[in-house]
Amino acid sequence: MKKFTLEMLAKMAGVGVATVDRVLNERGGVSPETTRKVLNAARAMDIKRPLPEAYQHPWQVEVFLSANPSHFFKQLAQDFADIAGGLGYRRITLHRTFIPESQPEKLAHYIMQSSEKRDGLIVFGHDYPIIHEALAHCRARGVPVVTIVTDLPGAARLCHVGINQQQAGRTAGLLMSKTARQPGDVIMVSGRVDYRAHQQRIAGFREAIAQRAPHLRLRELLCGQDQRDMIRSLLHDALLHSPQLVGIYNTGVGNTEIRTTLQQHQLLGDCVYITHELYSVTRALLQHDLASFTLDQNAAQHARLAMDILLRHLDTGEQPDLYRAGKVELKVITAENID
C-alpha cells in the first residue's frame, strides 16, 4: 500500500498514519472504537487488500513493581496476578517486572523498552528525573502510564493510584495524640528518607502532633533506610535516651526489630505503637495488644483501580481525573477489626 493512500485513509478516519498502520497490520494498541473507524473508512475507500477483523487481541500491559521483599509489594504483585486472571480481564495479557528501588536507571531503561511493545504500563517508581524522562517518552509514543503507590508530581502519566501519604501520616499523628495522653517522648522510625512516600508520612505526622499534641516531644527522626540491623541499632540507642517514651511511629519495614528492641527495654505494650501494613507480624502485634494501630494501604484496591482505569482508557479512550479516579482509601486497623 503506497504512502499517500495511508495518509488519505488516515485523514478520512480522522486518525494518524501510525494508527492506520497498526490497524491494517494488526499490531494492536488501538482501541476497538478507533479500529472500527479505520476499517470502515478503508471499506468506504474500497481498499484492494484483505482487511483484518475488528481488534480482538488482548491488550498487552506491563506492571513494574519494586523488588523490595516487603509484605506490601509481595501482596501487590499477587493481587495484580489474581485480578488479571479473573473473569472480566480476559482482554489483558499481564506482564510483571520487578526492579530494585535503588536502581532507577534500570527501571527507566525497562520502561522505555517496554513502551515499544506494550499497550499500557503500570509503574511504581520514585521521583527521579530519569523516571520522568522515561514516562515522557511513553507519552510521546502514545503509551498510557498509570503510576501507583508513590506520587510523581508533574510526570507524564494518565493517572495516579494510591493513598494520600501525607494524610496517612496526619492520621497516625491524630491517633497518637488521642491515645498517648501523658506527656513524654515519641520516636519516629522512617524508611528511606529520600523516598517521597516516607517524607510525606513523616511530614504529616509532625504536622498533626504540632497541632494536636503539645504535650508530646518528637525525638530526632531515626532514618533506618529500610535496613533492619540499622533500625535495631538506632532504636536501641534512642531508647537509652528516652526515659519517658510514650509512643513510637514506624513508616516502613522493621516491625520485627522494633518489637524485639521494645521488649528488651521492657516497653513493648507500654507505649503507643503505630505502624503501616497489615501482615503476619503486625497482625500478631495487634492481636496481643502490643501495637495500637496499623495503617493499611489496601494493596488489592491499588491493583484493581489501576487495571480498571487503564483498561477503560484503552477500550474507550476515557480520560480519568489525575488523582480523584485513583484514590485508594486508607484502612485503619485495630485489634477489633482485623479481617
The total domain count for the chain is 3
49 located within any domain:
no
| Domain extent for 264 | 165-296
Mean per-residue pLDDT pooled into runs of 10, the chain (339 residues)? 68 86 74 76 75 68 93 94 78 92 96 94 97 97 96 96 98 98 97 91 98 96 93 96 94 96 96 97 97 97 96 90 96 94
Q: What is the pLDDT of residue 53?
A: 61
336 located within any domain:
no
Dihedral (CA of 14, 20, 24, 30) sign = negative
Q: How many CA atoms lie within 13 A of 88 on its CB side?
A: 7
Record the pTM: 0.83
Q: What is the pLDDT of residue 28?
A: 67
89 located within any domain:
yes
Q: Are residues 197 and 238 in the same domain?
A: yes
Q: Are residues 143 and 129 in the same domain?
A: yes
Q: What is the pLDDT of residue 127?
A: 95
Residues 6+ away with beta carbon under 8 Å from 271: 180, 245, 246, 247, 248, 262
Q: Which residues does residue 294 pair with via DSSP β-bridges, in sequence order?
A: 275, 333
51 located within any domain:
no
Q: Are residues 262 and 194 in the same domain?
A: yes
225 located within any domain:
yes
End-to-end CA distance of the chain: 60
- Indicate which CATH number applies to the domain containing 215: 3.40.50.2300
DSSP code of 243?
Answer: T
Q: Are residues 233 and 306 in the same domain?
A: no
Q: Are residues 157 and 171 in the same domain?
A: no
Q: Are residues 283 and 248 in the same domain?
A: yes
Q: Are residues 72 and 150 in the same domain?
A: yes
SS3 label, residue 70? coil
Q: What is the pLDDT of residue 109?
A: 98
CA-nearest of 266, 262, 264 to 250 is 262
289 located within any domain:
yes
Tell me whether strands 331-333 and 293-296 are parallel, antiparallel or unpaired: antiparallel
Q: What is the pLDDT of residue 1?
A: 46
